[in-house]
Amino acid sequence: MSNTLTDYRRLSKLRGHRQINFIRAAIVGVAAGLLAVFFQHALHQAEALRGLVFSYAQSFPFGWPLFALFCATLGGVSAWLTVRFAPEATGSGIPHTKAVLLHLRVLPWRRVIPIKFIGGVLAIGAGFSLGREGPTVQLGAAVGAALATLLKVPRRASAHLISCGAGAGLSAAFNAPLAGFVFVIEELRRELSPLTYGTALIAAVTADIVTRAIIGHSPSFEIRNFPSLPLSALPVVLLVGVAAGIAGVAFNRLLLFSLQQVPRLRSNLPRSVRAALIGVVVAAVGWYVPDVLGPGHGAIERLLHMAETPTAPGVKYLLLLFVLKFLLTIVCYLSGVPGGIFAPLLAQGALLGLLVGSGVSSWLPEASGGPAALGVVAMAAYFAAIVRAPLTGVVLIVEMTANYDLLFVLLAASMTSYLVAEWVGEKPIYESLLQLNLSLRGPKESKNLEPILIDVVVEPRSPMDGCRVRDLELPRGCLLVTVKKGGEEHIPGGDTLLREGDEVTVVIAGERATSSSFVRSLAVAPYD
């Protein structure tokens, strides 16, 4: 009787903690939404300034040096700030956020928030082919870390606030709450415990409410009112998926190869100077092809809406734009300034779809279904091939288009591109970037070795499936504290049998990075 009463009290306490975390997640969502709105507004002002400088420079016969000076200065200052004050703010920020959630990196939010904000505004405002969505994810994660610190949340529970803050950032960046929620589940956490999806969903929705209340209901990309594709266009949709898979693999490999070469270049050039030189390259390319500048939102929206009109861009221009956007995104990412690849990937995908659609339309106009619709479909397919998060890409496009009739073709193209990347053995880009970063700098854990709390879901045929708790051989410092079976939580004993679908909570002390990776591996089914 006493044991039953003790277990009941422990479970009641756990449920109380979960409800408190839901309230904290809502606060994180509001704060992340506000920060994302301010970031977006600042970027719009910076891009408007770039447009004024560009127009002013073009009014002179030899005005290009002025525009080049503008791009180089902003890029160089952005890189200098990042290197000097917050190296963690380099690049997209999503790989760093994943490392924090795996306890392989720390998140110094006091430095990351201002530097990511200012550095991102400078670099993207300079026209670098980088996006704000990745930085907004890291800013949201930093908001979660800040709240955990200010509210004195135990470190073992702070990971949920960091992950839900990241999802809230993506939700606010795209005005797409479901995409932010799915991104946390599919890419960042990869588990479905009630606490994870509860906090992620609450934060994503509250962040989106804040965003819509301040800037309206418009999504990041205005790609609505495109016709649905008929079933007869399915062969072309699959062709788009194959093309997106091949191009996505090429992008991943070239980006990783380029990043691997940077440390090998025995150059004494500071990163700020390198970024300034890349700014000159950006200015040179953008001077003649302005559509490649920046993330690509405006250019892609215009090209997609022009695709069904007599003024539609030709195949040669689309090919030129795709190649330049492809290469310039990689070059800009090498600069190390704050900026992500999320939006540029969607822009490249749209260009690829327009290319395939325009080519097929000239031969089989009845079968293509329209270049614009294929451009929208290719955005999800290209994203799936590179990031390997097909559900996030599909949900994101459905939310931005508000066209659920596209769901089938989006799934067909995304799964095709996903399988192409899987078939050639290509790893997800954020996972590869994380591994590259760890190989260059090694893991860096917090000096505070307070225990952490992780949740895993037992997959079929995983080492945990069909295993009793006493036979798990958990590392030293690990304690399995609760098991949720069929919606009911239990305090496990040594004889408790784990089955697929069970939600397991483990407390880890000591060597957290190694132990957490080992525990997660026990719940994952092996690849055949």
Domain coordinates of the chain in residue numbers? 17-215, 231-269+330-438, 451-522
Order of strands, edge to edge, in the sheet holding 452-457?
452-457, 503-508, 478-485, 488-490
Q: Is the pLDDT of residue 492 over 60?
A: yes
* Residue 81 main-chain phi, psi, to 5 deg: -60, -40
CA angle, 179 then 124 then 46, to 5°: 110
Answer yes or no: is pLDDT of 257 > 90.
yes
**Rounded distance between C-alpha atoms, residue 258 and residue 336, angstroms:** 12
Asked if residues 391 and 217 have their Cβ atoms less than 8 Å apart, the reply is no
Q: Give the burial class of 24: count Cβ atoms within 10 A of its Cβ; 0-12 exposed, 13-18 middle, 19 or more buried.
A: buried
What is the average per-residue pLDDT within 291-316? 86
State the architecture of 451-522 in CATH terms.
2-Layer Sandwich (3.30)
Fold match between domain 17-215 and domain 451-522: no
Please give the backbone phi and psi of residue 495, each rounded to the nearest 5 degrees, phi first. -90, 0
325, 292 Cβ separation under 8 angstroms = yes
CA–CA separation, 59 and 331 (whole Å) = 28
* Summary count for the chain: helices (H), strands (E): 19, 4
362-394 pLDDT per residue, tens: 776 665 567 888 999 999 999 999 999 999 999
Residue 388 token pair: 């390997």
User: 104: exposed, middle or buried (C-beta count within 10 Å: 0-12, 13-18, 19+)?
Assistant: buried
3-state SS class at 490: strand
Q: Give residue 475's pLDDT.
A: 84
Q: What is the pLDDT of residues 279-288, one digit of tens each?
A: 999 999 999 9
Inter-axis angle of helices 407-423 and 234-261, nearest 10: 50
Specify the DSSP class assigned to residue 185.
Answer: I
Separation CA 103–CA 21 (nearest Å): 20
196 pLDDT more than 70: yes
**pLDDT in the model for residue 406:** 87
Say how far apart CA 357 and CA 315 lie, in whole Å: 10
**What is the tens place of the pLDDT at every residue in 422-481?**
999 888 999 999 988 888 776 665 555 567 777 888 888 889 998 998 888 888 888 888
The pair of three-digit structure tokens given for residue 1, joined into one six-digit string: 């009787």
- Give the best-scoring range by mean pLDDT among 393-397, 476-480, 482-486, 492-496: 393-397
User: CA 327, 332, 335 angle in degrees (round to 5)?
Assistant: 140
Burial 114-136 (b: 16+ CB within 10 A, else e): ebbbbbbbbbbbbbbbbbbbbbb
Is 1.10.3080.10 the CATH number for 17-215? yes
Tens-place pLDDT, residues 201-252 = 999 999 999 999 998 887 777 777 777 788 888 899 999 999 999 999 999 9
Question: Band of the pLDDT at 115, cuts 50, 70, 90?
Answer: very high
| pTM, to two decimals | 0.87
pLDDT in tens, 60-70: 888 899 999 99
Strand-pairing partners, residue 456, are: 504
Average pLDDT, the chain: 88
Question: Do the beta carbons of residue 146 and residue 162 sit within 8 Å?
Answer: no
Distance in angstroms (rounded) separating the CA atoms of residues 182 and 439? 29
pLDDT given at position 38: 97
What is the Cα–Cα distance from 68 to 281, expressed in whole angstroms? 8
pLDDT tens for residues 129-148? 999 999 999 999 999 999 99
**511 burial class (0-12, 13-18, 19+ CB within 10 angstroms)?**
middle
Q: Which residue has the higher pLDDT, 195 or 333?
A: 333
Give me the mean pLDDT over the 59-82 stretch: 94
Rounded-to-integer distance, Cα 30 and Cα 27, Å:
5
Sequential DSSP letters for 454-482: EEEEPPTTSTTTT-BGGGS-PPTTEEEEE
User: Mean pLDDT across the stretch 246-273?
Assistant: 87
Model pLDDT, residue 456: 83
Residues 124 and 466: their CA atoms lie apart, in Å, by: 51
